[in-house]
Structure 1
């Protein structure tokens, strides 16, 4: 199967009868640890993956934007100077990014666009962030905006137009990812430290087969609970709260809100600990941090599902103590990520296949990903 770039170009040619002028490409991501900490101004530790979204584009003879989706075989046409108006499915994401440009007073002229991607949707691998960053680079036709600014535009599209109160992690790693490394991102300052992954480390992504939708899930509820606890303490975000202070105030907080906050506070600590543990190839501690993170998501944040718990436990056991596994992404489905040594990959792949056989479901994505570079912009050359 050809990749997103080739398919986007082919769709552009088929729709418009000529080659595109340029290409934008942005990857999806897998978060190694640090879940639901980003919108609490905390720390996350993702890497970009070797799957993403490509946008082939060129100018148009009028002021309208014409879009074709290679993945769906569908089209859209809208006026980027008009107020935002939602449209079915993927179209809203395209219009939302254009809406942010309009809201910021950045003019967009007429364009012809073709989109193709290979990030599984609803898998927790940030297909929407990948699309948003690639579109931001497309509409920034002069290349004037820094990748961080494009990430902020893609986040604003989700927050202000799509209706998902997501944090900045997904968009920032898509825009700024580095090959062979994860980024320790401070979601308050947007500073990112590159942390090379050990040469013998494998990052295995296993899709549970259960898709999820952030807008339709309890994501926004949990964000509200976190903000309520921060307000109780009079702080800007849960990033500013330590475990001792939280524990001392347990009786004054709603029990559910307390557990939500405990997850965030402890997850920040685990995330800050992970880079040094990785650098030392301390497989036992890596496994412990992954297990603690999953348990916290299951018990305190309540975003896992029994089948996800089973898959994470199966993969963790298959590491033989060399690494570990946890759910990754917003929750209620999606993927489990495992960190292990390369020589353990066959055992983990077989464990995943056995899991799906036992539950009577076709295997989901089982992919040893390569930590990849972020946003790419290029002129199209035949």
Structure 2
């Protein structure tokens, strides 16, 4: 069953009435442009055909009663009292945070609701299960209250919930692509202006995702540290964000910064070069130049490994295996915040089985872990079902 069907069915069982509204928001995979979003730079993700459904109906109690199907847990909170985190249920922070900031943006929103959440985005895999939940809840509230919020507004409310309520200082990419994704296209996003440009995926190209099953936790991990280092580097160069720094400008003072703080210099080098790689990758894909795209993805991975230092040995090994199978006909790299999660590969469909086989034959032997392998489609963003 789809997440939408599961959510509707469970809503009927748990609340003994039919759902009035079902919303679905996809997860995402980022093809290139990692950690550039909170540096106001460029990213190129796509929404994927895995996501989160929220099915529910209004109630007249002024409360939200929420059932998370995948975790078999309830949460309940009032709209007439300050909305605060529930430390016993981490997932509930994404729901409570969105509702809290929906109320701040639209104080007239006081409509209680009963809802069921169901999703099939792998958790802690770097595929934005949290953003898909935030965007789905935001769209549900927008429809429930008849609120004048655009999909971009909903995405930014989701980001705010994650930053200020959950405590992860993520950028805006994950929520934006979940809200604005386009069928059969990557979306190049300028994370400062919020302008987007669709980049069609050639019909013979597959988007492969391999889950390493090394779990990550960006709140407890070093994500927030990386953001602080980037902000320090921007201050050193006297720019608003590292997006404003060209590669040439960085090189002119790289040694000076490195002498002060070697790690901060390395973080800045990744961001500055990664921004350029996104622009170059969009151009390469537009020309159907998979060899060049593969080179850029390889450079991106090396930069994440050596300069941003967010990969782990299992992820590096998966990329190595995938690239062996692909040769010059595509590219592979880590995707997501880092410290585990997934790799992504783009290549002709004719290469899918070769990639699947080399990983199946070697990954478990080397690491003791068993991968999950997905062939995804670039999908539409948030929608009413």
TM range (shorter): over 0.9
Match of 1:188 in 2: 192
- Alpha-carbon contact 1:311-1:355 (below 8 Å) kept: no
Secondary structure at the residue paired with 1:53?
strand
Match of 1:30 in 2: 29
Secondary structure at the residue paired with 2:351?
helix
Q: How many residues align?
A: 377
Secondary structure at the residue paired with 2:30?
strand
Match of 2:150 in 1: 146
- Alpha-carbon contact 1:31-1:45 (below 8 Å) kept: yes
TM-score by length of 1: 0.97
- Alpha-carbon contact 2:314-2:367 (below 8 Å) kept: no
Match of 1:46 in 2: 45
Match of 2:302 in 1: 295
Q: Distance in 1 between matches of 2:345 and 2:246?
A: 28
- Alpha-carbon contact 1:238-1:264 (below 8 Å) kept: yes
Q: Distance in 2 between matches of 1:81 and 1:303?
A: 42
Secondary structure at the residue paired with 1:93?
helix
- Given candidates 114, 117, 120, the residue that maps to 1:115 is 117
Secondary structure at the residue paired with 2:268?
helix
Cα shift readout 1:269-298 (whole Å, capped 9, x = no counterpart): 000011121122212111100110000000
Q: CA deviation at 1:355?
A: 2.8
Q: Any gaps of 5 or more consecutive residues in structure 1?
A: none
Moved more, 279-288 or 2-11: 279-288
Q: CA deviation at 1:364?
A: 2.5
- Alpha-carbon contact 1:324-1:340 (below 8 Å) kept: yes
Q: CA deviation at 1:99?
A: 1.2
- Alpha-carbon contact 2:8-2:55 (below 8 Å) kept: yes
Match of 2:81 in 1: 82
Secondary structure at the residue paired with 2:332?
strand
Secondary structure at the residue paired with 1:281?
coil
- Alpha-carbon contact 2:28-2:128 (below 8 Å) kept: yes
Match of 2:94 in 1: 93
- Alpha-carbon contact 1:81-1:102 (below 8 Å) kept: no
Q: Any gaps of 5 or more consecutive residues in structure 2?
A: none
Match of 1:240 in 2: 244
Match of 1:328 in 2: 335
- Given candidates 311, 316, 326, the residue that maps to 1:304 is 311
Q: CA deviation at 1:362?
A: 5.0
Q: CA deviation at 1:377?
A: 1.6
Secondary structure at the residue paired with 1:249?
helix
Q: CA deviation at 1:338?
A: 0.5
Match of 1:337 in 2: 344
TM-score by length of 2: 0.96
Cα shift readout 1:168-211 (whole Å, capped 9, x = no counterpart): 00000000000000000000000000111011111100000101
Q: How does 1:127-276 map to 2 (within 5 A)?
A: 127-140=129-142, 141=144, 142=146, 144-253=148-257, 254-276=261-283
Q: CA deviation at 1:85?
A: 1.5
Q: CA deviation at 1:23?
A: 0.7
Match of 1:315 in 2: 322
Q: Distance in 2 between matches of 1:376 and 1:365?
A: 27
- Alpha-carbon contact 1:5-1:116 (below 8 Å) kept: yes
Match of 1:376 in 2: 383
- Alpha-carbon contact 1:101-1:108 (below 8 Å) kept: no
Q: Distance in 2 between matches of 1:93 and 1:221?
A: 21
Moved >4 Å (runs of 4+): none
